[in-house]
Structure 1
């Protein structure tokens, strides 16, 4: 007896989710597909710290482009503990701003920021590919089931190199995403989106309108479950990354894992075992 019957596949409320064993099994199967693609691309698997430095995100214009998503990891001022919350408390109990010290760390809203920050100043002799998975966090106006959560899982496959290499990386994975979706019976729409790494008023944003560099893969309900992103030399410039003596270009393929669970639960009418069988029957990709 595993105790699976004690836990529903998904228990979600107010932007917080608990995944039961059935959903965890499907989540692991999905990530195995994505990590297989990463391995076939020659991507090294890397895990980064769960927090980002304010200084690193500022370097990447995060607070210019995404202040509305930002969540800080601020230390609690313990000079006087008498006023800190104690049981019993209201469900919406808060720590007031006066009880928090200055924050030097942030909860990241995407998996790739720490990857580029970790390579700051790197002098690479060839293109590099890597994959990482991270718990990401976003402050949203509202939270809706698995579609939009306080915290969610993002898998990314990242390429750093010359423009041709990093664009080929996106073409390869765009084809894989569409093949996988077709295998699962998912009807995805590919839509050009605004690149979030570019200041909406800057010259890069003007180029973005002329030469779109971000595509999202939308389910039938209009939910983006994956994206391919070409950043040109933005991160290479800001993080001072050179490849073969030239400023690096970068691209990434991103998967919102809980959103995949959401669309698969709908596609298979809540039959998590059928969804699992469909995912695991997708043929692995070889290098």
Structure 2
């Protein structure tokens, strides 16, 4: 039996009937109707990026730690960082590993010598956009859209709401301060229309990034004084989109310039799995009741002069 429209978390059993499998590690498997809804949402967000004629890019699953540290990521978010590493490649290291139990009694990989953790699993899709342009002098404003699987350690995991591995679609603007301000204003106006067309009514709220020991981090205190992050919050506690103004933080950190000065940047981010949570909570688990996100995005583009999707 499908759940009828009602805001609030949908029980796992009902989500399973439309294609969800939950892993206690904070990961989900999607198939069937729920996977199709996820792909439709992502296509809709990619279509909205057409408002800026954003160029699509596809990036790897991790970045060099040395690159991320250009913007002090590891000091700001050490509690969320996930690393890509491997067993020590030397034969002695591998022989020592094979001579042991391989897995311990809890099912974890037995203690072994590992290679240096020089790569960080993608924490947010936009980092790749800046890394790709390391040291570049831009000749004009750039708009880029990208999707990636992102990885973050959390204190707890909740199906579709808070995951260790999740899908993020972003649209990024690199340009002047005026360019990024205009980009964010258009993004909020367009998203307000999009939310209405898919039957959602999130509230925009000022937010801060999840810094480690935030009150000891001057960037957290600055974000409290001058908010640069606003989230579209559904149901009072579920952020399904965010608009973020970085000023020249990434331009300076990655040595990206425009007109001889560090470029400013901003981004719009969507958590795909959270959209599944919001849409099934609002419209139920009958796929026939789900809104057409792709058609809604096309209507937004026509309304804001972006042309047909």
- What TM-score do the two structures reach when normalised by structure 1? 0.89
Higher relative contact order (CA 8 A, sep 6+): 2
1:40 to 51, 66, 82: 51
Query: What is residue 3 of structure 1 aligned with on the other side?
Result: none
2:157 is matched with 143
Deviations 1:94-126 (A, max 9, x none): 124533221111111111111111111001110
Once the two structures are TM-superposed, the CA of residue 205 in structure 1 deviates from its matched residue by 4.3
Unpaired runs of 5+ residues, structure 2, are 1-15
Indicate yes or no: 2:173 matched with 1:159: yes
- The answer to whether structure 1 residue 85 and structure 2 residue 102 are counterparts is yes
SS at structure 2 position matched to 1:212 = coil
What is the DSSP-based 3-state SS (H/G/I as helix, E as strand, rest coil) of the residue aligned with 2:230?
Answer: strand
Question: How many residues are treated as equivalent by the alignment?
Answer: 278
Unaligned runs of 5+ in 1: 1-5
Deviation at 1:24, TM superposition (A): 1.5
| CA shift for structure 1 position 211 | 2.2
18 and 131 in structure 1: CA distance in 2 versus 1, 3 angstrom threshold: same
Is contact 2:194-2:297 (8 Å) kept? no
Shift in alpha-carbon separation, 1:96–1:182, aligned structure 2, 3 A = same
1:50 aligns with 2:67: no
For 2:268, the equivalent position in structure 1 comes to: 253
The 2-side partners of 1:214 and 1:200 are apart by 17
Relative distance call for 1:224 and 1:48 in structure 2 (3 A) is same
Q: Work out the CA distance in 1 between the residues paired with 2:82 and 2:128.
A: 16
From the superposition, tell whether residues 55 and 194 of structure 1 become closer, same or farther in structure 2 (CA, over 3 Å).
same
In structure 2, C-alpha distance between the alignment counterparts of 1:206 and 1:215, rounded to whole Å: 16
- Cα offset, 1:209, TM superposition: 2.8
Instruction: Compute the displacement of 1:59 (Å).
Output: 1.2
Maintained 8 Å contact 1:61/1:197: no
Q: Does 1:265 align with 2:276?
A: no
1:128-277 matched pairs, under 5 angstroms:
128-195=142-209, 201=216, 204-275=219-290, 277=291
1:188/1:217 contact within 8 Å kept: yes
Post-superposition offset of 1:202: 5.7
Deviations for 1:11-68, whole angstroms, at most 9, x for unmatched residues? 1131121101211111111111111111221210001111111101111111111111
Contact kept in structure 2, 1:62 and 1:197, CA below 8 Å: no
8 Å CA contact 1:155–1:254 kept in 2: the answer is yes
Residues 205 and 69 of structure 1: CA distance in aligned 2, closer, same or farther (over 3 Å): closer
Give 1:12's match in structure 2, choosing from 22, 30, 44.
22
CA distance in 1, matches of 2:101, 2:132: 36
2:47 touches 2:297 (CA, 8 Å); kept in 1?
no
Q: Secondary structure at the match of 1:99?
A: coil
Distance in structure 2 (CA, Å) of the matches to 1:98 and 1:209: 43
